[in-house]
Structure 1
């Protein structure tokens, strides 16, 4: 992930989420929310140091789950991961903040998509073809981290489980059978638990 020093990240007013219908946990209808939240007039870039404790703004976070042949890529968050409050927890999601440097003069979906693909490229080396699809949103107002972030969940279905970490912060990484994730879910960060329960359990 990008350094937090002087980082300006994409945010939307939490009031817009309220207007669309605030939810707790996972919501599958991401298109309806993002078609409004990622309109340029609803987005802005703010210093990350200021918005990390401001629940009136939601930081938009790409959260990509890598899946192949009934297994899911997971890792333990290490010290180089940007969000210190999640260190040592297991995670399924690869991604991070949408930085102003990703924008190219834009504040909408194009900037978001650029950031998502940059984060994937920075964090993992994927050596398999696959299909990337939007799966839903995650909102968790029950935790200090969750109340200032909104997760945009993507599933990346790969033909082969050929993924390796590029960052030291993705420790103890590898593909794990979905059944094992269900048994071990309490070791995972909240967003990953939502994905395990809502997206992966049925699969």
Structure 2
């Protein structure tokens, strides 16, 4: 059986983002409404290249002691288009096993993705926007729901998938050329909104 992933119509994402790109500070209630009303589960193979849908991805930025978790994807990581890229976010696809109700599946799936990738105690989790990026074939079929989490980090749960480090905001600038698209976009938002 093919993996079924949570998707929403691209046209509905365009409505709430007003067609803007970057981290769009959409009200959380609109995101919840989008997923609750229009979220559905479709075979991942069918939507990987279908730009009429956006696969919903929670994207959680982890922060500890004023530094941000930086993940470098290894060649063993599943998404070939992102190998060796740097990611600032933890998260992934939401699938039908996360729950029948799209919104509960999103919340459960976000928790599952965090637990799959890292062992960390989340002290605080705040939503900050929708990542809307139309610049690449990967990003045009995904939409990010961005959060920042203050954490007590213990370890990576998938050390074969990622290498990690912790960086202060100013040190992230040195990594811009290696960042995946969403991380670059999130970095721009962090630089604008984070006090140094």
TM over 0.5: yes
Aligned residue number for residue 35 of structure 1: 32
The alignment covers a number of residue pairs equal to 193
| Deviations 1:42-97 (CA, angstroms, capped at 9, x unpaired) | 11101111101000000000111000122100111123433211111011111000
Q: Give SS of 1:184's match.
A: helix
C-alpha displacement of 1:201: 4.9
- Equivalent position to 1:106, from 101, 104, 108: 101
C-alpha displacement of 1:137: 0.9
Task: Decide whether the 8 Å contact of 1:182 with 1:201 is kept in 2.
Answer: no
C-alpha displacement of 1:106: 1.2
Residue 174 (structure 2) pairs with residue 178 (structure 1): no
C-alpha displacement of 1:31: 1.3
- Equivalent position to 1:95, from 65, 69, 91: 91
Structure 1 Cα separation of the partners of residues 6 and 27 of structure 2: 17
Structure 1 Cα separation of the partners of residues 95 and 13 of structure 2: 21
Q: CA RMSD in A?
A: 1.7
Task: Decide whether the 8 Å contact of 1:178 with 1:201 is kept in 2.
Answer: no
With over 3 angstroms needed to count, the CA separation of the structure-2 counterparts of 1:129 and 1:34, relative to structure 1, is: closer
Q: Which range moves more in the overlay, 146-155 or 26-35?
A: 26-35
Q: Give SS of 2:124's match.
A: strand
Aligned residue number for residue 196 of structure 1: 187
Structure 1 Cα separation of the partners of residues 13 and 89 of structure 2: 22
With over 3 angstroms needed to count, the CA separation of the structure-2 counterparts of 1:141 and 1:169, relative to structure 1, is: farther
Task: Decide whether the 8 Å contact of 2:23 with 2:189 is kept in 1.
Answer: yes
Give me the TM-score of the superposition, normalised by structure 1.
Answer: 0.88
Structure 2 Cα separation of the partners of residues 189 and 129 of structure 1: 24
Structure 2: state its 5+ residue gaps: none
Q: Give SS of 2:135's match.
A: coil
Task: Decide whether the 8 Å contact of 1:95 with 1:120 is kept in 2.
Answer: yes
